[in-house]
């Protein structure tokens, strides 16, 4: 009895993208379901324009399909997706020649059924992220919002793990420092 496509590993699903027919579409849908949030979150945090986010988000998934067409084996699909997304984001930032600033007002994630405290804290964290350098902010986003391990982040940004570790830890420490006056009221 054949197991459902949804239970396939990422590598198996990526391999199915090289095939034709219904399985390819199913494999793509499952991968999209698994990782679209991560890709979207990364785009959303790095870029500040909805249209730009839309374009990069779409291009990322299309490039995944194109890459699968070459028939090569891929072990870490989410890292690969985020690397594509990251390169696209940085291309846009280079073209713009300006630092993309995450807007305070425009940083509200569409989180449903969220407590007021959580929403407020999200806004505070987003504000604190604005004050970080690009390197630190990216490391923070990839670790905190995308849930990648230090090793996976190192793969995505093509830097040593020790560098990633330093960036993540220092970014989090700086965020906490910035939020410290506010966090007193939230202490559990």
Partner 1 sequence: MAMAMNNSQHYTPSELIYLFLDGESDGVQQSTLFAALAHDAELQSEFQEAVLVGRTLDRVRNDVHPPQDFTEQVFTAAGFTPPLFQPAPIPVAGKWSASLHTIIRRVGIPVASAFIGALTMFLLMNTGRNNDIVTPVRPVAESTNIQHTHTNSSNPVVSTPTHRADDGAANTFVSAGSRQADKRSSAKSSRIASGIHSSARDRASASVASDGGAGTQSTADNPVVTLSLPDPEPQQLVVDAPVPLVDQVTPQTPAQQLDPPAAYADMQPIYRWDRGGNAGSPGVSMFVRGIESISSFPDRKNNIEASGSTSNVGFGCLYHYSRNQAVGMEVTRELLPIHSLGEGDAELNSVLLWIGGLWQIQTDFPGLRSDIQPFLRLGLGGTAYGPSGKALLGIMYTAEQRLSISLGVETTALVAWRNGVVGSTEKIAFSYGLSFHF
Task: Report the C-alpha gap between 10 and 27 in whole angstroms.
Answer: 9
Task: Report the C-alpha gap between 109 and 118 in whole angstroms.
Answer: 11
Task: Report the C-alpha gap between 166 and 162 in whole angstroms.
Answer: 6
Nearest alpha carbon to residue 38 among 86, 73, 2, 74:
86
What residue has token string 């939020």?
Answer: 179
176 binds partner 1 (CB under 8 A): yes
107 binds partner 1 (CB under 8 A): no
Nearer to partner 1, 87 or 166 (CB): 166
Binding pattern for the stretch 20-59 against partner 1, x by CB under 8 A and - elsewhere: -----x--xx--xx--xxxxxx--x---------x--xx-
131 binds partner 1 (CB under 8 A): no
65 binds partner 1 (CB under 8 A): yes
19 binds partner 1 (CB under 8 A): no
Nearer to partner 1, 117 or 134 (CB): 117
CB 139 within 8 A of CB 153: yes
Number of H helices, E strands in the chain: 8, 0
CB of 113 to partner 1, least distance (A): 6
Task: Report the C-alpha gap between 168 and 58 in whole angstroms.
Answer: 28
Nearer to partner 1, 71 or 160 (CB): 160
Indicate which single residue of 100, 121, 127, 135 sits in contact with partner 1 (rule: CB under 8 A): 121
Concatenating the DSSP letter of every residue in 73-89 gives --S-HHHHHHHHHHHHH
182 binds partner 1 (CB under 8 A): yes
CB 42 within 8 A of CB 50: no
12 binds partner 1 (CB under 8 A): no
Task: Report the C-alpha gap between 16 and 125 in whole angstroms.
Answer: 39
CB of 97 to partner 1, least distance (A): 26
Site of interaction with partner 1 (CB under 8 A): 25, 28-29, 32-33, 36-41, 44, 54, 57-58, 61-62, 65, 109-118, 120-122, 125, 143-147, 149-151, 160-162, 165-166, 168-170, 172-173, 175-176, 179-188
């Amino acid at each position: 009895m054949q197991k459902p496509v949804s239970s396939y590993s990422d590598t198996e699903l990526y391999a199915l993208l090289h095939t034709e027919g219904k399985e390819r579409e199913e494999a793509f849908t499952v991968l999209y379901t698994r990782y679209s949030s991560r890709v979207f979150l990364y785009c959303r945090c790095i870029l500040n324009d909805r249209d730009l986010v839309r374009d990069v988000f779409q291009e990322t998934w299309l490039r995944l399909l194109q890459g699968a067409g070459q028939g090569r084996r891929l072990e870490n699909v989410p890292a690969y997706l985020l690397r594509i997304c990251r390169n696209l984001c940085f291309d846009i930032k280079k073209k713009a020649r300006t630092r993309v600033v995450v807007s305070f007002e425009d940083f509200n994630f569409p989180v449903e059924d969220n407590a007021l405290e959580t929403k407020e804290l999200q806004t505070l964290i987003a504000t604190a992220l604005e004050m970080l350098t690009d390197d630190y902010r990216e490391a923070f986003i990839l670790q905190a919002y995308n849930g990648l391990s230090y090793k996976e982040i190192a793969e995505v940004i093509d830097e040593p793990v020790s560098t990633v570790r330093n960036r993540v830890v220092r970014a989090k420490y700086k965020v906490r420092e910035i939020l410290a006056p506010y966090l007193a009221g939230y202490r559990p």
